[in-house]
Amino acid sequence: QSLRRRQVAAAKELYGALQTGRDDRAGRDRQFERNFNFFDAPVALLVTIDARMGSGCYMDLGMCLYGLMLAAAAHGLGSCAIGALASYPSLIRSTLELGDEHHIVCGIALGYADPDAAENAVRTERLKPEEFFRTLR
C-alpha cells in the first residue's frame, strides 16, 4: 500500500468528517489555513532545529517531541503536530526574525481537545507492523 494512497484515504476521511467535498476548494483552503492558526489552540509552539546539526539529531528531536506530546496527554492536554509550517520556512523565519540557522521543523498546537470537533473523531488506517518493518537476513 503506497504512501500516496494512504494520504489520499486520510484526506478523504478528514474532509468527509468536515463535510467538505473534493471540489470545494475554498472549504479545503480554509481547513488548511487552520494549521497556521494552530487550530485555535491556546498554546502554539514552533519547533526548529539548528541547521548545522547532523541528520541524527532529527531522531533526538522526534523523541523529544513524542515525549512532550505524551506528557501533555498525561496531564489531560491534547496536542497536534503541524507539518504544514515546514512548507513556508522563509516566511516563518522573516516573520519571527529568525536567522537562516533555524531550520523550521513543525508546529505543535497544545491545549484541551474539543471532543465535539469532527476532525477529532477521524481515525486513519495504520499499516500493520509486518507491512512497515522488514527483517533483513
Model confidence over 73-126: pLDDT tens digits?
Answer: 999 999 999 999 999 999 999 999 999 999 999 999 999 999 899 998 899 888
pLDDT at 62: 95
CATH annotation of 3-132? 3.40.109.10
SS (H, E, C) 54-100: CCHHHHHHHHHHHHHHHHHHHCCCEEEEEHHHHHCHHHHHHHCCCCC
**Taking 70 as the threshold, does the pLDDT of residue 1 lie above it?**
no
The pTM of the full predicted model, rounded to 2 decimals, is 0.84
pLDDT at 127: 85
Model confidence over 49-73: pLDDT tens digits?
Answer: 998 988 889 999 999 999 999 999 9
